[in-house]
Amino acid sequence: MRKPLPYLLLIVCIMAGTVTLGLAAQKMGAKEMNLPGGSRGDVPFPHFNHQTKLGDCNVCHGLFPQTKGSIEKLKADGKLKSKQVMNRHCIRCHKAEKKAGNASGPTTCAQCHVRS
Ligand code: HEC
Ligand code: HEC
Ligand code: HEC
């Protein structure tokens, strides 16, 4: 009888390779971003931090696509309300994490917005 082990190893290697290539092919976007914050000034946003910490892209990208400027575009088209991302995503999550006693992000205006 032939030993199945080498074939199993080969299959495992192919599967691992596919997963690695899949991850590398996924566009991760900029590590650090500067989001337009209207009259209150820009919002520096550590994108990579959130990707690694939260894991699930759709926490945010369920609401707006993975393209630069998509929030502004949706706001201009009336598909996102002004401050909707800020209030319902950024601040809501930071408050919830804080309340749960976890590491969290800023919740006050001046901690997020930088006046130029
Ligand atoms: C906490 C919120 C959040 C999470 C989680 C998140 N993103 Fe983003 N992402 C953003 C924001 C905000 C933008 C900028 C949108 C804009 O410019 O209007 C963005 C933009 C992008 C862009 C386009 C910008 C560029 O530099 O090309 C890509 C690509 C992207 N994200 C990929 C991902 C992937 C992949 C994941 C999951 C591994 C992810 N994002 C998770 C908030 C998030
Ligand atoms: C966690 C970070 C964060 C905090 C805290 C925060 N903002 Fe924002 N703000 C953003 C982001 C991101 C945007 C752009 C997306 C949006 O409009 O939802 C924004 C957008 C805005 C805009 C522009 C809206 C528009 O459409 O022109 C104003 C004005 C604003 N914020 C004021 C404030 C004020 C006032 C406070 C304090 C009460 C505050 N922000 C707190 C992140 C934050
Ligand atoms: C679903 C939860 C979640 C959402 C949505 C989210 N954040 Fe955060 N944010 C976190 C957590 C958790 C941390 C703490 C990360 C850490 O300390 O490792 C954090 C940290 C931060 C920090 C501080 C990073 C540092 O180095 O101290 C900033 C700035 C920030 N977030 C901005 C934003 C902005 C702007 C948005 C909206 C576009 C946003 N976050 C959306 C969970 C979230």
28-55 pLDDT per residue, tens: 999 999 999 999 999 999 999 999 999 9
Ligand number, closest to the Cα atom of 90: 3
53-85 pLDDT per residue, tens: 999 999 999 999 999 999 999 999 999 999 999
| Strands annotated E in the chain | 32-35, 43-46
User: Which pTM does this prediction carry?
Assistant: 0.89
Cβ count near 45 (within 10 Å): 17
Ligand number, closest to the Cα atom of 41: 2
CATH topology of domain 29-112: Cytochrome C3 (3.90.10)
pLDDT-derived band at 25, boundaries 50, 70, 90:
low
> How many whole angstroms from 42 Cα to the centroid of ligand 2?
9
